[in-house]
Structure 1
C-alpha cells in the first residue's frame, strides 16, 4: 500500500517538477527602429530582433517581443524583471542600470539633411545648425559636449526625418541604418536626402534588467559566438541588406 501511495504521489509531482525545470520566459521590449526592430511584421521583425530571438532559442529561453515608444521601453527594463531591450549603446551613465548580455552590432552615426545641404559634407559646419536626434539616446548630450549648440529631440527616427523634410531641423543625427530606412518611408524619395560622412561609431548591445546574473550573461555571450560561427548572424543581416561586423 505504501508503495502505491508513493508512486501516485510521485506521478502527481511530475508536472510540477517539469514546470519548475522550464526556463523562465523573457520579454524583449523595443521601439520601432527599422531595420533593427520593425513593428507589425512577425515574419520580418527586424535584424537585431531576429538575432535576439535566435539567441533566446539557443539558450533555451522563450521570448516575447513587444513594441513601445523607445523611452518607455528603456524605463520598463529598469523596473520589470526578465526584460530585455535593444539596440542599446553602452555608456558610463547607463553602465549600472542594465545587465549587458551581448554585443550585437557596430553602428555608424551620421547626419541627414535635405538634398543640397552643403554643410553635410563636413559635420563641423553643422555646429550652429538646427539639429534633432532620437529621444532616449545619449546623442543630444554627446552633440552638446562636442560643441553643437542647437539640438532638439524627437520621439522616433521617422519623426526626425519629418522634421528635416518640413524644414523644422536642418539635419537629424543618429544611426545610419535607421535613418536611411526612415528616409525611404512615408512617401519619401531617396533623392530628397543627403548624408554626411560617418561622424562616429559605437557598439550596440542586447541589455537586460538587473535580475539577469553574470552567469546569464556568459550563456548569452556564448550563444552569440555560436551564432556567429555557424553563419546565422550573417544570414539574418543579409536578409535586411546589412553586412556582418
Structure 2
C-alpha cells in the first residue's frame, strides 16, 4: 500500500507539472507610439499600457510591458503567446489576431502650419508641394489609395514633426492624438500647427496572438468590459480626447 500511494503521488505530481507546462507564458510587447505607448527606458507607460496591465492582472498574466521596434513587436504577436497594447484594427489584420477591446478611435488628419489654411479635402492635398507620412504605416496606405503624387515617407513621427516645423514639408499626415503628443514631446508650441477635418477614423485595439487560450481571452475581455462599466476606462483614455476649449 505505501508503494501504491507513492506511485499515485508521483503520477499526480507529474500531471500537475504537465498542466502547468501546457499554460503558455504570455508576454506584452509593443513599439513606442505616442501618446498610447510611451517608452520609459525600455518599459512601457501611457493609456494603452495602463489598460493592458489592468486586464492582464485580472487574467493572471505578467504585467511587464516591453518596448520593441514595430516590426519585431508584430513578429512576436504573429509567433504567438503575446499581447499588444495598441494595434490599429484594419481589415487585412482582422483574422490574424484576437481583438480584446478598443483603446481609442483616432482621426487621420493633415497637420499644417497656421500661416496657411487647414487642409480637409483630397483636392486641396493635391495642391501641396510635399506631404510626409511615416514609412510603412497604415496611414501611408491611405495616402496611396488617394493617388497622391506629392507624398514622401520618413522613419518616425518625430522626424515628420521636425520637418513641418522647419517648413521643409507643407503637411504631415498622422493621427490627431499622435501628432499632438509628438509635437508636445518635442517642446514645440502647439499654437504653431493646425489640422483640418478627418480623412479617416482609425481604431487602436488591444490585440492578442491567435493561439491564446480561449479561457484567457474570455478573462481578458471580461476584465476590459469591467473597466468600461466602472468608468476606469474613461479616466484612463481622457488624455486622448479633445482638450477643453
Residue number in structure 1 paired with 2:83: 84
8 Å CA contact 1:24, 1:61 repeated in 2: no
After TM superposition, the score normalised by the length of structure 1 is 0.82
Between the aligned partners of 1:6 and 1:19, the Cα distance in structure 2 is 20
1:209 partnered with 2:209: yes
Asked if 1:158 corresponds to 2:155, the answer is no
**Contact 2:28–2:63 (8 Å) recurs in 1:** yes
Name the residue aligned to 1:54: 54
Contact 2:110 2:120 in 1 (8 A): no
Distance 1:38 1:205 in 2: 16
Shift of 1:20: 1.5
Q: Deviations over 1:111-143 (max 9, x none)?
A: 112221325255541124322222342211222
Residue matched to 2:74: 74
Equivalence for 1:115: 114
Counterpart of 1:170 in structure 2 is: 170
2:219 matched to 1:219? yes
Give RMSD over aligned pairs: 3.2
Q: CA deviation at 1:37?
A: 0.6
Query: Contact between 1:69 and 1:155, CA under 8 Å: does it hold in 2?
Result: no
Find the counterpart in structure 2 of residue 139 from structure 1.
139
Cα displacement string for residues 36-77 of structure 1 (whole angstroms, at most 9, x for unaligned residues): 011117998110111011111122222331112223322332
Query: 1:82, 1:209 within 8 Å by CA — same for their partners in 2?
Result: yes
Q: Which residue in 2 is equivalent to 1:32?
A: 32
Which has the higher mean CA deviation after the structures are superposed, 57-66 or 68-77?
68-77
- In structure 2, what is the Cα distance between the partners aligned to 1:237 and 1:101? 16
Q: 1:73 to 1:192 in 2, by over 3 A?
A: same
The gaps in structure 2 that reach 5 residues or longer are none
Cα distance in 2 for residues equivalent to 1:122 and 1:128: 10
SS in 2 for 1:93: helix
Distance 2:9 2:169 in 1: 70
Q: 1:150 to 1:214 in 2, by over 3 A?
A: farther
Report how far residue 100 of structure 1 moved. 2.4
Q: Residue 188 of structure 2: SS of its match in structure 1?
A: coil
Note the C-alpha offset of 1:232: 1.6
Identify the residue that residue 106 of structure 1 maps to in structure 2.
105
Distance 1:128 1:29, change over 3 A: farther
- Aligned with 1:63: secondary structure? coil
Q: Secondary structure at the match of 2:197?
A: coil
